[in-house]
Amino acid sequence: MTSHEIDYEVYGEELQFVEIELDPGETVVAEPGSFLMMDEDIEMKTIFGDGSSEDQGMWSKILGAGKRVLTGEKLFMTTFTHEGYGKAKISFGAPFPGKIIPVDLTEYNNKIICQKDSFLCAAKGTSVGIEFSKKLGRGFFGGEGFIMQKIEGDGMAFMHAGGYIVKKRLEHDEHLRVDTGCLVGFTQDIDYDITFVGGVKNTIFGGEGLFFASLIGPGDVWIQTLPISRLADRILTHSKGYFGGKRGGEGSVLGGLGDLLDGDGW
């Protein structure tokens, strides 16, 4: 194996964290800001790229960091190495309510494709890069843009997504359509594209967006029930009514229509 072999345990329900147990010399790489707690023998180091290769030159490190910028991630990543004796533990927390998804990459031909903000941490030796779409429809209408993230290696990696996580196994030629924002990730053999919802009423009044993610098996798909964008939109919508002492029609029989009639909607 090129990746470090680590043990782990996930704790919690809606606000989870993963505790990783390291042997001497083992390292885990993580997104900045996800660190929760660690034992004293673990040393932290900030690096360019993902640290997947020990003999990376400066240009390779800059290129790796540039790939992270393209996916909307921070320029640096953080490594945590056990420099002492015996066992040591380190924990990483979820950034918002949802579930942590442990993935053994060896079970998926050493590669999965995922949303650009779903990676949490992984054993050192795991490569976190970019996956360019080969179809223009994905880039213009896919919700996650032209670029997605790919996680490659032969060790453990951990993703995080909102709400409850559904893992579906698609057989050969089995077809599944998913809201573009609810798609967390999929295995590399999945045929992924974007399809138009269709229908004038669906387009104008449906409220579900104009496009679906179209997935054709064989392979595995991970789906989240509450994307962070949907959660943020709901919070923003409801918070508008609290500024200035207003409740945005909450509890009113007429709701938003009552606010409009009172002149609050203008």
> Does 91 score more than 70 pLDDT?
yes
- On whether residue 218 sits in a domain, the answer given is yes
- On whether residue 89 sits in a domain, the answer given is yes
pLDDT of residue 9: 96
Tens of pLDDT, residue by residue over 201-218, are: 444 444 455 678 889 999
Q: How far is CA 266 from the centre of its chain?
A: 38
- On whether residue 109 sits in a domain, the answer given is yes
> Does 4 score more than 60 pLDDT?
yes
pLDDT of residue 56: 56
pLDDT of residue 1: 58
pLDDT of residue 46: 87
Tens of pLDDT, residue by residue over 13-40, are: 888 999 999 999 999 999 888 999 999 9
Q: What is the CATH number of the domain that holds 213?
A: 3.60.160.10
Name the residue type at position 173: D
Residues 37-62, buried b or exposed e (16+ Cβ, 10 A)?
A: ebeeebeeeeebbbbbeeebeeeebe
Per the CB < 8 A criterion, the answer to whether 158 and 121 are in contact is yes
Maximum average pLDDT range among 41-50, 80-89, 174-183, 234-243: 80-89
Structurally, the chain folds into a number of domains equal to 1
- On whether residue 14 sits in a domain, the answer given is yes
- On whether residue 245 sits in a domain, the answer given is no
Domain around 133: 7-232
- On whether residue 148 sits in a domain, the answer given is yes
- On whether residue 25 sits in a domain, the answer given is yes
- Identify how many contiguous H helices and E strands the chain contains and give both numbers: 5, 19
- On whether residue 253 sits in a domain, the answer given is no
Q: Counting Cβ atoms within 10 Å, is residue 139 exposed (0-12), middle (13-18) or buried (19+)? A: middle
Closest by Cα among 152, 125, 217 to 178: 217
Q: Which of 81-90, 155-164, 177-186, 255-264 is predicted with the least confidence, judged by mean pLDDT?
A: 255-264
